[in-house]
Chain A
Amino acid sequence: MVKFEIHDLNIWFASTQALKQVNLEIQANEILSVIGPSNSGKTTFLRTLNRLNDLNARFRMTGAVELERQDIRGINIEDLRRRIGMVFALPLPLPLSIFENVAYGIRVYGEKRKKVLGHKVEEALQQAYLWEEVKDRLDESAFKLSGGQQQRLCIARTLAVGPEVILFDEPCSGLDPISTAKVEDAMIKLKEKYTIVLVTNNVKQAARVGDRTAFFLSGELIELDKTEKIFTAPCDKRTDGYVRGEFG
């Protein structure tokens, strides 16, 4: 099933064009990795999907982004963002307990019943592979967790509100290799239930977890194909150069 369809997407910030004529589809329950050097437009692309770019007053777009055949500009923006969760580069726990961090999003939607909250928090922490590590200290401050645990806590917080799609914006850029591996494991298991778009500066990470990989350069989508193909026999010379580390 096709989750996202993107047609002729052009994006400008003031007079600078950030994305040029991007066309692509994102399948349900796949991990789509988005790679490219900095300023290639990959984060802009990601933030278009949940309309986070709209916060920037100089943002302008043409073309269409459709979520399950419905233009995202026609969906209530809070509903859209609830359906499309996002995990940021820096883990950003709130100054609350572990439990409250995960419960936060659910509370925002007005859920007050303690039983439901407890159940949903446990479920989300389990899906983010954090439950076993924190189940005995849910009332401790989230800041006491390690960087990798904090990032999985943020994943749990995103999962708790029940999204369909999860956007990862360089989720492991500040993490050590072991924590990175845990976050990647979580991502691979999550794709059974969710559609995942992963923006990463780590080409190897894209090779490890992506079903398909998209290569962006200077705002253009150069190539999109099965991950093995991108990394072994890409069609475009520039893709080949980037994945082999010749520039970027």
Chain B
Amino acid sequence: MRKLKEFIIEKLILICGLASIFFVVLIFLFLLKEGLAVFKTVGPFKFLFGKSWYPISEPAQLGILPLIFGSLLVTLGAAIISIPVGVGCAVYIAEIAPAKIKEILKAGIELLAAIPSVVLGFVGMITLVPLVKSVFHLPTGLTALSGSIMLAFMAMPTIVSVAEDALYSVPKTYKEGALALGATHWQTIWRVMLPASSSGILAAVMLGIGRVIGETMAVMMITGNAAVMPNSILVPVRTLTATIAAEMGEAVVGSEHYFALFAIGIVLFIISFAINVTADLFLHKRQ
């Protein structure tokens, strides 16, 4: 009787464990089923590297290169801003801040993570966008730069908390060893703590970037949504995610346009899968 109970519970837990993988596979298969249909009319090469996205013109032009560049540009900008600030913040919290300030900062960062992205987009629209417009004397402040700055805020909590964990996991003896040699606090951080936790910090960065590249709402509101090849960070761009969100409602089910949006979903899925696997590799290297 007890053996039977054990057996049932074990199998139930097994099912729970497999469920997450099962769902991921299902989602991917569904994306493939809907998305691959687009390649009947557009070649994969033309789809990925085509420079114009005019899905409702006749005939439709379905090249997503401007969208890929839009996503990469916004992500790169966000990474350039959020990595130094985020890692710096993690170092401050883990190594320098007195206990009280540490608590306040950690609460603040958790709060930042809890703000819905649509609210961040909203705030960005009324504060950041006019600021970018007037600082750079642009016709519009709805640019890739605005998106980058806003997304940097969204990547920060992930980067800070994972990097902070990585710093905490450095054995105490490393730090004491360096200090006992007469190294200053800063030399200890720079030459011992950061190198010793580098794989964890890289994982933090990758996870932060993963979050940025999948973000939709805020970028849709403040990047201007122009599906053209960007030639600088100060022009409106459109990301992969924003394209799906903006156009799915108006695409006719079963049309070329509809399938193309699913194919964009596949591209996104592959990008974020690759980023997550990379982050995982770094994390495992640490252990």
- Interface residues, chain A, with chain B CB atoms under 8 Å away: 50, 52, 55, 57, 78-82, 85-86, 88, 90, 92, 94, 104-105, 108-109, 154, 157-158, 161
Which residues between 233 and 259 of chain B lie within 8 Å of chain A, taking CB atoms?
A: none
A sample of 18 inter-chain contacts (CB < 8 A) reads A50-B180, A52-B176, A55-B179, A57-B99, A78-B182, A79-B182, A80-B182, A82-B182, A88-B173, A88-B177, A90-B173, A92-B177, A104-B191, A105-B182, A108-B183, A157-B181, A161-B181, A161-B182
**Are B180 and A85 interface neighbours, CB within 8 A?**
yes
**Are A86 and B173 interface neighbours, CB within 8 A?**
no
**Are A108 and B181 interface neighbours, CB within 8 A?**
yes
A52 vs B184: C-alpha distance when bound (angstroms): 13
Which residue, of A79, A85, A90, A104, has the highest number of chain B Cβ atoms within 10 A?
A104
Which residues between 161 and 189 of chain B lie within 8 Å of chain A, taking CB atoms?
A: 173-184, 187
Q: If the complex has contacts A57-B99, A108-B187, A108-B191, are A81 and B182 also in contact, measured as CB distance less than 8 A?
A: yes
- Interface residues, chain B, with chain A CB atoms under 8 Å away: 99, 173-184, 187, 191-192
**Are A81 and B179 interface neighbours, CB within 8 A?**
yes
Q: If the complex has contacts A57-B99, A108-B191, are A78 and B174 also in contact, measured as CB distance less than 8 A?
A: no
A8 vs B156: C-alpha distance when bound (angstroms): 49
**Are B180 and A52 interface neighbours, CB within 8 A?**
yes
Q: CB-CB < 8 A to A57: which residues of B?
A: 99
Q: If the complex has contacts A57-B99, A108-B187, A108-B191, are A92 and B173 also in contact, measured as CB distance less than 8 A?
A: yes
Instruction: Looking at the assembled complex, report how far the CB atom of B181 sits from the nearest CB atom of chain A, in whole angstroms.
Output: 4
Q: If the complex has contacts A78-B184, A108-B191, are A52 and B179 also in contact, measured as CB distance less than 8 A?
A: yes
Complex: chain A residue closest to B174, CB-CB? A92
Q: CB-CB < 8 A to B177: which residues of A?
A: 88, 92, 154
**Are A85 and B181 interface neighbours, CB within 8 A?**
yes
**Are A86 and B180 interface neighbours, CB within 8 A?**
yes
Query: For chains A and B in complex, what number of residue pairs have CB atoms within 8 angstroms?
Result: 49
Q: How would you classify the secondary structure of chain A's contact residues: helix, strand, loop or mixed?
A: helix
Instruction: Looking at the assembled complex, report how far the CB atom of A117 sits from the nearest CB atom of chain B, in whole angstroms.
Output: 15
A52 vs B99: C-alpha distance when bound (angstroms): 19
Instruction: Looking at the assembled complex, report how far the CB atom of B151 sits from the nearest CB atom of chain A, in whole angstroms.
Output: 35
A50 vs B205: C-alpha distance when bound (angstroms): 37
Q: CB-CB < 8 A to B174: which residues of A?
A: 92
A82 vs B192: C-alpha distance when bound (angstroms): 17
A187 vs B214: C-alpha distance when bound (angstroms): 60
A104 vs B181: C-alpha distance when bound (angstroms): 9
A154 vs B173: C-alpha distance when bound (angstroms): 13
Closest 6 CB pairs of A and B: A82-B182, A86-B180, A81-B182, A105-B181, A108-B183, A78-B182
Complex: chain B residue closest to A108, CB-CB? B183
Instruction: Looking at the assembled complex, report how far the CB atom of A65 sits from the nearest CB atom of chain B, in whole angstroms.
Output: 16
**Are B180 and A81 interface neighbours, CB within 8 A?**
yes
Instruction: Looking at the assembled complex, report how far the CB atom of B141 sits from the nearest CB atom of chain A, in whole angstroms.
Output: 46
Which residue, of B174, B175, B177, B184, has the highest number of chain A Cβ atoms within 10 A?
B177
Instruction: Looking at the assembled complex, report how far the CB atom of B193 sits from the nearest CB atom of chain A, in whole angstroms.
Output: 12
Complex: chain A residue closest to B177, CB-CB? A92
**Are B181 and A158 interface neighbours, CB within 8 A?**
yes
**Are B183 and A78 interface neighbours, CB within 8 A?**
yes
Complex: chain B residue closest to A92, CB-CB? B177
Q: If the complex has contacts A108-B187, A108-B191, are A55 and B182 also in contact, measured as CB distance less than 8 A?
A: no
Instruction: Looking at the assembled complex, report how far the CB atom of B187 sits from the nearest CB atom of chain A, in whole angstroms.
Output: 5
Q: Which of B176, B184, B187, B191 contacts A55 (CB 8 A)?
A: B176
Instruction: Looking at the assembled complex, report how far the CB atom of B95 sits from the nearest CB atom of chain A, in whole angstroms.
Output: 11
Instruction: Looking at the assembled complex, report how far the CB atom of B22 sits from the nearest CB atom of chain A, in whole angstroms.
Output: 41
A157 vs B174: C-alpha distance when bound (angstroms): 14
Complex: chain A residue closest to B182, CB-CB? A82
Q: CB-CB < 8 A to B192: which residues of A?
A: 94
Q: A81-B181, A94-B192, A154-B177 are in contact. List 11 more A-B contacts (CB 8 A).
A: A55-B176, A78-B183, A81-B179, A81-B180, A88-B177, A92-B173, A92-B177, A108-B178, A108-B182, A158-B181, A161-B181
Complex: chain A residue closest to B191, CB-CB? A108
A88 vs B99: C-alpha distance when bound (angstroms): 28
Q: CB-CB < 8 A to B183: which residues of A?
A: 78, 105, 108
Q: CB-CB < 8 A to B178: which residues of A?
A: 108
Q: CB-CB < 8 A to A82: which residues of B?
A: 181-182
A193 vs B108: C-alpha distance when bound (angstroms): 53
Q: CB-CB < 8 A to A104: which residues of B?
A: 181, 191
Instruction: Looking at the assembled complex, report how far the CB atom of A120 sits from the nearest CB atom of chain B, in whole angstroms.
Output: 14
Q: CB-CB < 8 A to A50: which residues of B?
A: 180
Instruction: Looking at the assembled complex, report how far the CB atom of A150 sits from the nearest CB atom of chain B, in whole angstroms.
Output: 12
A158 vs B181: C-alpha distance when bound (angstroms): 6
